[in-house]
Chain A
Amino acid sequence: MTPPVIEIAHATVGYDGRPVLRDVSLTVTAGEVVAVLGANGSGKSTLVRAALGLVPVGAGSVALFGTPRRRFRQWHRIGYVPQRLGAGSGVPATVREVVASGRLARRGVLRPAGRADREAVAAALDTVGLADRAGDPVSTLSGGQQQRTLIARALAGGPELLVLDEPTAGVDAASQEAFAGALRSFRDGGGTVLLVAHELGPLRPLISRAVVVHQGGIAHDGAVPEPAGHHADPDHEHVHPHCDEEPARLWTGI
């Protein structure tokens, strides 16, 4: 039997000695599409960041593809999509250049980009519908298009697991649909997905399992819960921009 793609066991995670998550366990097996849901500040992003080693894990263990995280080196098997494009860039970069970074995990630091790399980048741009913007600076793209750029970057490496941190927060409806389509074809190709979301929107039919993080622990692990409150209103548009201060309404009833 193949080992789980992600296995977090009794992990305690925190910043500066202040625990955000206490004794949480999560197992993701190949082919699953798992959504981590929760209010803002509940620790849902911290959970996936801990799985990737971006946040130190105090107690407990994390394993990726059956290897303890500290000894894990096959990073090309993972495609990571952060919440937004880092604001750190003071120099222009084209969409193609950003997406090409996604090939580094596969090709290493010293080998120059070859034909396979260029083809993978072009294919990833096609998948997210940005092939016509490849030569444009990313700073001229809309928020949704920038998010699609980051997904293309993750897909370009040909990963087996996609980890996405709030991929649809503040993203326009067209980009959300393009994104759902890209995720569907990734899943149909045998990929595994772990994504953090505040609300699911058009992604809902894709999700095979939902994990709800609440007050530093896992409050629910199973079927996707039905939305409550005004989010359940069929007229409610799930496209409001991301805002950290927004009080959580969706999952607090669980």
Chain B
Amino acid sequence: MDLFQYDFMLRALVGALIIGLAAPALGIYLVQRRLALIGDGIGHVALTGVGAGLLLNRSPVLVAVIAATLGAIVIELVRAYGRTSGDLALALLFYGGIAGGVVLVGLSDASSGALNAYLFGSLTTTSQGDLVTIGVLGAALLVTMLVLRPALFAVCHDEEYARVSGLPVRALNLIIAVGTAITVTIAMRAVGVLLISALMVVPVATAQQVTRGFRSTMAAAMALGLFAAGAGVWVAATADTAPGASVVLVAIGSFLLVALGAAGVRALRRRSGSDRAAPPVEPAEHEVLLG
């Protein structure tokens, strides 16, 4: 594409690809824990950091990393120790975060366009410095999620068993929380706080339509994230649409295609009777559904 001759488009593409690869690698643990929307909440908190950064004339992304990390740690502590009030505490944090962000951005000299850039992403204004931040944090995130995969899988799959295995459960949970905060802040540049969860969750949801195991789901989700990021930026460049939203729409489009395809294949197999004899599901099933 001719448009990729321009440096800003190239930077947008590279940034999107890094985020597309890293976000699902973290998101899979959130999905496994049924905390798919937590990234959204942390995004709201990050917005307060953006506001504070703009007001103090510091790098908004850097302050947002700090705010989101603190928010993620608070959420994790509420999750680990809180009981009935956890739900409300999270709601307070989320809405307090977004309201604080809006107020702080308003108080600063920044234009209303600045707020939009963080709400919906502003991939094409990615600077060289942003790209370095995204690259370094994205690489650190990927390495952590891949190296710690067996331990993180164990903690997210069965936390009590992980404790009896002597795993550092609290530290691993905090790694996931801080990883979420970092993903949110680097993805904020690409898709904006309002669409962040999509990049962490949708590729995982797509992958698990066709995969059988955790490892294959992770690999497929990362590939899908990469594809959505690349194709989304290409669509945005050729059709002149908003890059962040285009990436998310490509991801959701892939989900619909794969879900329909998988359902079709299952139906065909059932009709031809070549399906692997699935064992009759016993009473355990209702427990799984209730969970």
Task: Answer whether residue B113 sits at the interface, using C-beta atoms and an 8 A cutoff.
Answer: no
Task: Answer whether residue A142 sits at the interface, using C-beta atoms and an 8 A cutoff.
Answer: yes
B164 pairs with A87, CB closer than 8 A: no
Complex contacts, B213 vs chain A, CB 8 Å:
92-94, 96-97, 135, 137
CA distance A98 to B161 in the complex (A): 11
A88 pairs with B148, CB closer than 8 A: no
Shortest beta-carbon distance, A75 to chain B, in Å? Answer: 3
Complex contacts, B167 vs chain A, CB 8 Å:
104-105, 109
Shortest beta-carbon distance, B15 to chain A, in Å? Answer: 27
B160 pairs with A54, CB closer than 8 A: yes
Interface size, chain B (Cβ < 8 Å): 46
A87 pairs with B154, CB closer than 8 A: no
Task: Answer whether residue B170 sits at the interface, using C-beta atoms and an 8 A cutoff.
Answer: no
B281 pairs with A97, CB closer than 8 A: no
Given contacts A104-B151, A135-B213, is CB(A140)–CB(B279) below 8 Å? yes
Q: Which of B161, B163, B278, B284 contacts A143 (CB 8 A)?
A: B284
Q: Which of B31, B147, B159 contacts A90 (CB 8 A)?
A: B31
Q: Which residue in chain A gives the minimum CB-CB distance to B166?
A: A75
Shortest beta-carbon distance, A17 to chain B, in Å? Answer: 13
Task: Answer whether residue B270 sits at the interface, using C-beta atoms and an 8 A cutoff.
Answer: no
Given contacts A110-B147, A113-B150, is CB(A52)–CB(B164) below 8 Å? yes
Q: Which residue in chain B gives the minimum CB-CB distance to A241?
A: B283
A91 pairs with B279, CB closer than 8 A: no
Complex contacts, A141 vs chain B, CB 8 Å:
279
Q: Tell me the residues in window 98-120 of chain A with beta carbons closer than 8 Å to chain B beta carbons.
A: 98, 100-102, 104-105, 109-110, 112-113
B156 pairs with A88, CB closer than 8 A: yes
A86 pairs with B157, CB closer than 8 A: yes
A53 pairs with B163, CB closer than 8 A: yes
Complex contacts, B165 vs chain A, CB 8 Å:
75, 80, 101-102, 104-105, 157
CA distance A84 to B287 in the complex (A): 9
CA distance A87 to B34 in the complex (A): 10
Task: Answer whether residue B65 sits at the interface, using C-beta atoms and an 8 A cutoff.
Answer: no
A80 pairs with B282, CB closer than 8 A: no
Main secondary structure of the interface of B (DSSP, over half): helix
Task: Answer whether residue A85 sits at the interface, using C-beta atoms and an 8 A cutoff.
Answer: yes
A97 pairs with B214, CB closer than 8 A: yes
Complex contacts, A204 vs chain B, CB 8 Å:
none
Given contacts A142-B280, A241-B283, is CB(A153)–CB(B161) below 8 Å? yes
Q: Tell me the residues in window 120-168 of chain B with beta carbons closer than 8 Å to chain A beta carbons.
A: 147-148, 150-151, 153-154, 156-168
16 new A-B contacts, CB < 8 A, other than A97-B213, A142-B280, are: A80-B164, A87-B288, A89-B156, A90-B32, A90-B33, A91-B204, A92-B212, A92-B217, A93-B153, A97-B214, A100-B150, A101-B150, A101-B157, A104-B151, A139-B288, A157-B165
Residues of A within 8 A of B (CB): 52-54, 73-76, 78, 80, 82, 84-94, 96-98, 100-102, 104-105, 109-110, 112-113, 135-137, 139-146, 153, 157, 163, 170, 172, 241
- Could you show 25 A-B contacts with beta carbons less than 8 Å apart? A52-B164, A53-B163, A84-B287, A86-B159, A86-B291, A87-B287, A87-B288, A87-B291, A88-B157, A88-B291, A91-B28, A91-B32, A91-B204, A92-B208, A92-B212, A97-B214, A97-B215, A100-B150, A104-B151, A104-B165, A142-B282, A143-B282, A143-B284, A170-B282, A172-B282
